[in-house]
Chain A
Amino acid sequence: MTAVREAPTQAEPTPPARTGQLAAAARWARRAPLLPALIFTIVVTQLPFVATLVISLMRWNSLDPADRGFAGLDNYAAVFTDPDLRSAIGVTALLTATVVLVSLVLGLGLALLLDRKFAGRGVVRTMLIAPFLVVPVAAALLWKHALYNPEYGLLNGVLTWLFGDDAPQPEWISGMPLLAVEASLVWQWTPFMMLILLAGLQSRPQDAVEAARIDGATAWQVFRYLTLPHLRQYLELGALLGSIYVVQNFDAVFTITSGGLGTANLPYTIYQTFYQAHDYGQASAAGVVVVVGSIVIATFALRVVSSLLREEVRA
C-alpha cells in the first residue's frame, strides 16, 4: 500500500530551476543561525591544531631562530626517547586513572547515601558540592599550604591532636608527591561524580525496585541487579567526562609540586618545553601525542554521549 501511494511523489517531474533555488535559499536560511558559531569554532579550535601538526614536523627553537627547517619525525623520536616526556606520558595515565576511578567510587558511595531521605539532606548536599566550586588554583594552594605543610598544616595538626606531641609528622608533598596531587584532585572531582550519579539514581524507575522488594530481594540484590545496570551509562559518562578534564589538568601539578618530584604530566611538560626551553618543534610533537591519546578516550566518550542522545530522541 505504502509503495503505491509513494509512487506518484517519486514520479513527479523534477522541479524547475526556480523552485530549486528557493529550496536552496530555504536551506541556507535554516543554516544561517548556525554558521557564526561553526565558523568561529573551526577557526579558533581547529586551525591551531593544524598549525601544531605542521610545527611538530619542524626544527624550530626560538632561541636559535635561524636554524628553522623541516625535521621529519625527529621531534617525535625525541618525544618518545626523552626520559622526561616518557615519564610525563606515564604520569598522565596514572594520574588520570587514579583520580577518575577513586572519585567515581567515592562519588557512587556518596550518591547512594544522598539518595535516601534523612534530616538535613540539602545541607549535606551543599557541603559536598563546595569542593568543586573552589577555584582550582585556590584549591591547590589550600592543599599545599594549609593542609600539607609539615609544620603547621591541618593534616599534621590533626595527627598531633590525636596522638599528642610524639605524633608522626610526615612530609606529605616530598614524601608522596603524586599521591598529594591526586588527593587534592580527588577531593575536587568526587562532587562532580556524585552529582552525575545522583541524577542517575533519581531517574531510576521506582516501580521495578518496589516490585523486587515485594518479591523479597535483599538490598544488595536490588543494588547489584537493578541499580548498578541502570547506573552503568552514568558511570561511563562520569568516567569519560572526568578523564577529559583530568587528563588536561595543569593547575594542581603547577601549584602543588611545580612538576617536580616525578609529578610532571603532559600538559605541564608541554608548557615547560615551550615556555622555558623554547623548543617549539618538540613541544608541538608532544602536543600531537596528547591529542592522539585524547582522541582514543574521546571516541569512547562520544559513543556514550550519543547513546544517551538517542535515548532522549526515542523518548
Chain B
Amino acid sequence: MRRLLGLAAWAAGLLFFAPVAWMVLTSLHSESDAATNPPSLAAPITFDSYAEFFDSDPWPPLINSLSASIGSTVLVLLLAIPAAYALSIKKVEKWSDVLFFFLSTKMLPVVAGLLPIYLVAQYTGMLDNISFLVVLYTSMNLPIAVWLMRSFLAEVPGEILEAAALDGAGLVTTLRRVVAPVAMPGIAATSLICFIFSWNELLFARVLTGVVAGTAPVYLTGFVTSQGLFLAKVCAAAVVVSLPVLVAGFAAQDKLVQGLSLGAVK
C-alpha cells in the first residue's frame, strides 16, 4: 500500500512535469523533428532553435523585462520595508485596518483601472516607457510585499527588542543587530516573488508598451508566425523566457507558499 502511494505520487509528478519536459525536448529538436506525429523522442539534439532565437534580437525585450522587474522590486522593497516596520515592530494605531487596506487593493482587478492608467500615460507622454511599467508593477506587488515583510518582521522577538532598548541601543544598532538578521531571508524571498510577478506580467505591458519598451512576454506573444514550422523556436523562446522565473522560484521554494498566501500560511 505504502509503496503503491509512493508510485502514485511519482506518476502524478511525472504527468505534471511532462509538458515542461516536452517543451525543453522540443526546443532541442530540429523543426522537422518537432512536428512529427507520433512524436520523435529520440531525434538528434540540436541547439539551432536557440541560435535562431538569439539571432532574432530578443535582447531589447529581455533587458526591458529585466529592468522593469528589478526596478520595481527595488522600489517595492524601499516602500514596503519601512511600512512593514510600522505595522509590526513599532505599530501604528489601527495597524490591522491598514494591512487590510493594502490587501484589498490586490483584490481589485487591474483591468478595471486600465483605461484611466492608459489615458494618464498617453497624456503625460509615458506610453512605451519602462519607468511607467516600473510604477505599475510596484503598485501591483506592494501589498504582497507589505504583508510578507510584516509576517517576517513579526517573528523578531519582542523581548530582544526590549532588551536592546534597555541596553541603550539606538535605532540604527537595533535595526542592524536585531532586526536585520531575522528580516534578511524574508527580504530575499519577497524580492524573488515580486520579481516573478513582474516578469510574468502581460496585460499592462501589452497595452502600455510598443516597440521601445516591449517586455519579454509581449515579445513571446508576437513570436508565432503563420509561416512554416515554428514549434521548436517557440519552445526555445518559452524556455529562455521562463528560465529566470524557474531559477527564482526554486531558489524561493521554501518561502513560496508564504509569499503566495501573503504570509498567511507559514
Q: Which residues from chain A sit less than 8 Å from chain B, CB to CB?
A: 27, 30-34, 36-38, 40-41, 44-49, 51-52, 55, 109-110, 113-114, 116, 118-121, 123-139, 141-143, 145-147, 149, 151-152, 154, 156-158, 160-161, 169, 187, 190-192, 195-196, 198-200, 203, 234, 237, 241, 244, 247-248, 250-251, 254-255, 266-267, 270-271, 274-275, 280, 283-284, 287-288, 290-291, 294-295, 297-298, 301-302, 305-306, 308-309, 312
- A135 and B246 CA atoms in complex are apart in Å by 9
Does B68 reach chain A (CB closer than 8 Å)? no
State which of B44-52, B82-90, B157-165, B183-191 sits at the interface with chain A: B82-90
B79-119 vs A: 1/0 string, CB under 8 Å? 11011011100111100101111111111111111111111
- Residues in B with CB closer than 8 Å to A267 are 109, 111, 203
Interface: B169 (CB within 8 A)? no
Q: Are A250 and B266 in contact (CB under 8 A)?
A: no
Query: Which chain B residue has the least Cβ–Cβ distance from A135?
Result: B242
| B199 touching A118, Cβ below 8 Å | no
- Rounded to whole angstroms, the CA-CA distance of A157 and B262 in the bound complex is 41
Sample (21) of A-B pairs whose CB atoms are under 8 Å apart: A49-B108, A120-B10, A124-B10, A132-B249, A135-B200, A137-B221, A138-B23, A138-B238, A141-B238, A145-B234, A146-B235, A154-B19, A234-B265, A241-B261, A247-B109, A267-B203, A271-B207, A287-B114, A290-B109, A291-B108, A301-B107
| A272 CB, min distance to chain B CBs, angstroms | 11
CA gap between A34 and B102 in the complex, in Å: 11
User: Do the beta carbons of B86 and A45 come within 8 Å of each other?
Assistant: no
Minimal beta-carbon separation of B143 from chain A (angstroms): 7
- Would you give the shortest CB distance from B216 to chain A, in whole angstroms? 8
Complex contact A124–B265 (CB within 8 A): no
Instruction: State the CA gap A44–B139 with chains docked (Å).
Output: 6
B235 touches A41 (CB 8 A): no
User: In the complex, which of the residues B19, B101, B111 contacts A142, with contact meaning CB atoms closer than 8 Å?
Assistant: B19
CB-CB < 8 A to A118: which residues of B?
2-3, 5-6, 9-10
Asked if residues B83 and A305 are in contact (CB atoms below 8 Å), the reply is: no
For A33, give the chain B residue with the smallest CB separation: B82
Q: Is the CB of A41 within 8 A of B142?
A: yes
B212 at interface by CB-CB < 8 Å: no
Give chain B's interface residues, CB within 8 Å of chain A: 2-3, 5-6, 8-10, 12-14, 16-20, 22-23, 26, 34-39, 79-80, 82-83, 85-87, 90-93, 96, 98-120, 135-136, 138-139, 142-143, 146, 154, 196, 199-200, 202-203, 206-207, 216-217, 220-221, 223-224, 230-231, 234-235, 237-239, 241-242, 245-246, 249-250, 253, 256-257, 260-262, 264-266
Partner of A34, one of B83, B96, B206: B83
A-B pair number, CB within 8 angstroms: 308
CB–CB B5/A113 < 8 A:
yes
Residues in A whose Cβ lies below 8 Å from that of B3: 118
Instruction: Pick from A36, A290, A305: contact of B79, CB below 8 A.
Output: A36
Whether B39 and A157, one on each chain, are in contact in the complex, defined by CB atoms closer than 8 angstroms, is yes
Task: Say what secondary structure dominates the interface of chain A.
Answer: helix
- Asked whether, in the complex, the Cβ of B250 is within 8 Å of the Cβ of A126, the reply is yes
Chain B's nearest CB lies how many Å from the CB of A56?
Answer: 9
- Whether A270 lies near B235 (C-beta < 8 A) is no
Report A-chain residues with C-beta under 8 Å of the C-beta of B249: 129, 132-133
Given A136-B202, A271-B114, A305 contacting B142 (CB threshold 8 A): no
Q: Chain B residues with Cβ under 8 A from A46's Cβ?
A: 105
By a CB distance below 8 angstroms, the chain B residues around A284 are: 115
* In contact, B107 and A44 (Cβ under 8 angstroms): no
Nearest 4 A/B pairs, CB to CB: A118-B6, A33-B82, A48-B113, A287-B112
In the complex, what residues of B have CB within 8 A of residue A127's CB? Answer: 13-14, 16-17
A147 CA / B196 CA spacing, docked (Å): 25
Cα-based distance from A275 to B111 in the complex (angstroms): 12
* A250 and B202 in contact, given A113-B12, A142-B23 (Cβ under 8 angstroms): yes
Contacts of B135 in A (CB 8 A): 44
- A151–B35 Cα distance when bound, in Å, is 8
The residue in B19, B38, B112 that gathers the most chain A C-beta atoms within 10 A of its C-beta is B112
A128 contact set on B, CB distance < 8 A: 12-13, 16-17
Cα distance A90–B143 when bound, in Å? 29
Q: Which residues of B contact A297 (CB under 8 A)?
A: 107
